[in-house]
Amino acid sequence: MSSRCWRRGAELLFAVLLCGLLQGAAVAAEEFDYGLVPRKLADDTWVLIGKTEDFNRSNGGNIVNTAFIVTTEGVVVIDSGPSRRYAQQMRRAIARVTEKPVIRVFNTHHHPDHFLGNQAFAGIPTAALAATIAGQREEGGAFTDNVYRLSGDWIKGTEPVPADEALRPGVQSIGGHELELISLSGHTSGDLVVLDRSTGVLFAGDLVFYQRAPTTPHASIAQWLAALDRLAAVPYRLLVPGHGDPVGDGRAIEQTRRYLVWLEDALRRAAERGDEMSELFGLAIPAEFAAIPLAREEFARSVAHLYRRYERETLRRSR
Ligand SMILES: [Zn+2]
């Protein structure tokens, strides 16, 4: 073998090895990477948009919208996401936008996709409504087990950390942003909505879903509809739903409202007919909602969560 030939051979081998190494590094870096890219919505205001999917092993629970506001005092985080790993990556995403430290976290409600990242914000005041903290304490362990079952190792090392401060509704001024904290209920027994009066952005939590079927494991539809009336009267410029794209008008509130009205009516009528729960699972979903991601799955879950209540009410009324 000539020395030139040998050198070319060695270069080739080196290139192949380097390529293999780089590929290995890329795989390692991609593993459990939520790919969080903040989208700027308004001055100082960023959102991380989740997929309109169920928890699964490829999305790792990145199915929720989280947000942050960069104030002059520091960063305010609204919802911490579905896992410790998500929140660690969220902190890195925030650090790519600003050097300011995170100074406060709000949890909009106690569902796992909105607060299981709290662990990665240890030492930072984390506030939620009292009902939310009670729910986090009571159900956080079961939620974590369930999410782990659905999303696997994305969730590894995640512990449920309840918010450490029960917040009072009202206005808080933080670093030049006037935040109105509004206490509502209906999706759960404690649903916090944050209106940034300085930018007009309304963080609606899961009281509003847009192009993603609403979830109802802790819902009171009557309270939820009343909450939507309150939200519709808020003078916002941009609404960030808990799931789905932000909108600048009332269509997300309206879609959620129409869905809930239909759902309640379907459950009530079925109860009045004396249908068995199993008969409801195949019920036709109106075209308006059938095309929304997870409509069939969430309807089936809602039947399981809520139908007994409607059966009992019908029985009571008929006595
Ligand atoms: Zn949610």
CA distance 319 to 308: 17
Are 46 and 40 a contacting pair, CB within 8 Å? yes
**What is the pLDDT of the chain when averaged over all its residues?**
92
Angle, CA of 18, 19 and 23, to the nearest 5°: 115
CATH of domain 39-249: 3.60.15.10
Q: What is the largest CA-CA distance in the chain?
A: 101
Report the separation in Å between the CA atom of 145 and the middle of ligand 1, taken as the mean of its atom positions.
Answer: 17
Report the separation in Å between the CA atom of 103 and the middle of ligand 1, taken as the mean of its atom positions.
Answer: 23
Report the separation in Å between the CA atom of 98 and the middle of ligand 1, taken as the mean of its atom positions.
Answer: 26
Report the separation in Å between the CA atom of 18 and the middle of ligand 1, taken as the mean of its atom positions.
Answer: 43
Q: What's the pTM?
A: 0.89
Predicted local distance difference test score (pLDDT) of residue 319? 78
At 11-54, the pLDDT tens digits run 555 554 454 444 444 444 468 999 999 999 999 999 999 999 99
Burial of 7 (0-12, 13-18, 19+ CB in 10 A): exposed
Using the 8-state DSSP alphabet, how is residue 284 labeled?
P
- Listed in sequence order, the DSSP H helices in 98-208 are 112-115, 130-151
Predicted local distance difference test score (pLDDT) of residue 31? 84
Are 116 and 135 a contacting pair, CB within 8 Å? no
User: What are the residue boundaries of the structural domains of the chain, listed by start?
Assistant: 1-31, 39-249
Torsion of CA 132, 135, 136, 140, to 10 degrees: -150
